[in-house]
Structure 1
Amino acid sequence: MAELILTGAAGRLEARYNQAESENAPIALILHNHPKAGGSMQDRVTVMLHKLFVERGFSTLRFNFRGVGRSQGNFDNGQGELSDAASALDWLQSQNPVAPVTWVAGYSFGSYIALQLLMRRPEIDGFITVATPANHYDLSFLAPCPSSGMMFYGSNDQVSPPADLERSASKIRTQKGETVEWEMIEGADHFYRNELDLLRDRAANYLDRRLAQPRKAAPAPRR
């Protein structure tokens, strides 16, 4: 794994990167939990998601949002962090110009940013989110959601209560041919203290199922 410093809108971004052996490997961007709650790219859920994609041959990048670790800048209530994610995805694509598949995954606050990002980047083919804080952020911007994905949540999550995620997810509308699923991890709290292995297994099953399906048609080039 390479330790990197990327360039973001607010300055440098500290990152970790695994380059796949295949020249035409798929790519994945992993986004961490809330910076003001101790979130960083070293969070155990974030690291688990990173490893999940690496094990399936993805060139995979995770990074610290602005103001975290060695990343410059200050927390920007989501707007600046979305810009950070876009810069990181730009870099990842520049290193893998023929990547046939692009995924994004996020945990807690990072899942909110991931969902924002996929609405702006039509090349994103799929997503996995964990503990999306639907009680703190309005997900109505997913109208319609342009990519298929999975939203995992814990039955004992007191930070992002399951009822809020279920209510928001049930209202999501998708583009033709896309499906957004949501799955509860029984017994899991917001931090997956005792259920991380179960989360990994469920996420792996979903990702493997998706990767076995035919790819959707490539989107029109961005202008």
Structure 2
Amino acid sequence: MNAHTEARQVAGPAGPLELAIDHPPGAARGVAVVAHPHPLFGGTMHNKVVQTLARACVAEGWQAVRFNFRGVGASGGQHDHGVGEQDDLRAVVQACAASGPLVLAGFSFGGAMAARVAAALATERPLQALVLVGPAASRYPMPALGEELAARTLIVHGELDDTVPLAAVLDWARPQGMPVTVVSGGEHFFHGRLPLLKRLVMQHLRALA
């Protein structure tokens, strides 16, 4: 993301996992782990939406950890259709944020993975926040988050997203009483809307500080 991004590898369930870590100027509030979009459609930790999420976290004082799912970049293993990828995300959390305040964030496929792992982790440890951008609710089963985690969740979706229809996200959020922030005129990759997305994420993290 910048000249000060730290490259690192950690052990994953299917081989090493490639990480990129960005640090805030002062002492970090905690760790934010950011998950990228679908590996079979060009998704990597260098995706612009993923980098925007990381920048927003760093701006609010969080250490941001991006990583490549199995089979992407220098990460070992092969794509596992959203099953093993949850284990990858858990392995990164365990390696980089085994204790202390934790934020999970994800875009598209990564949003679905972050939601699933967050729902599971909520029974083990509290999450400071969950940030889901264009979560792939039409393509992967999405979990019930529970009242406490739902209250700490930001969902942002493009009005004109033709990869993950807005209706699918609303259908998931509605029974849980979760608001969805709709970016008018926005599509799946938030072209021209990344500064707005960054502000929305920063506001959410600041409100929960």
TM-score in same-fold range (> 0.5):
yes
Aligned residues: 199
1:114 paired residue number: 114
1:144 counterpart = 2:142: no
Runs of 5+ consecutive residues of structure 2 not aligned to the other structure? none
1:74 is paired with a residue of what secondary structure? Answer: coil
What one-letter code is carried by the residue in structure 2 that aligns with 1:53?
C
Deviation per residue, 1:58-78 (Å, 9 max, x gap): 122110000000101000011
- From 62, 68, 71, the equivalent of 2:75 is 71
Alignment of 1:47-196 (within 5 A): 47-94=51-98, 97=99, 99=100, 101-122=101-122, 123=125, 124-139=127-142, 141-142=143-144, 144=146, 146-147=148-149, 148-172=152-176, 180-196=178-194
1:111 is paired with a residue of what secondary structure? Answer: helix
1:119 is paired with a residue of what secondary structure? Answer: helix
Structure 1 stretches of 4+ with a deviation exceeding 3 A read: none
1:190 is paired with a residue of what secondary structure? Answer: coil
1:218 paired residue number: none
Deviation per residue, 1:162-205 (Å, 9 max, x gap): 111111110126xxxxxx43110111100111211221222222
1:38 counterpart = 2:42: yes
The CA distance in 2 between the partners of 1:145 and 1:31, in whole Å, is: 23
Q: Which one has a bigger Cα radius of gyration?
A: 1
Runs of 5+ consecutive residues of structure 1 not aligned to the other structure? 174-179, 212-223
Q: CA shift at 1:134, angstroms?
A: 1.4
1:215 paired residue number: none
Tell me if the contact between 1:118 and 1:146 (Cα under 8 Å) persists in the aligned partners.
Answer: no
TM-score by length of 2: 0.89
Tell me if the contact between 1:32 and 1:108 (Cα under 8 Å) persists in the aligned partners.
Answer: yes
Percent identity among equivalent residues? Answer: 26
CA RMSD of aligned residues (A): 1.6
Tell me if the contact between 1:131 and 1:190 (Cα under 8 Å) persists in the aligned partners.
Answer: yes
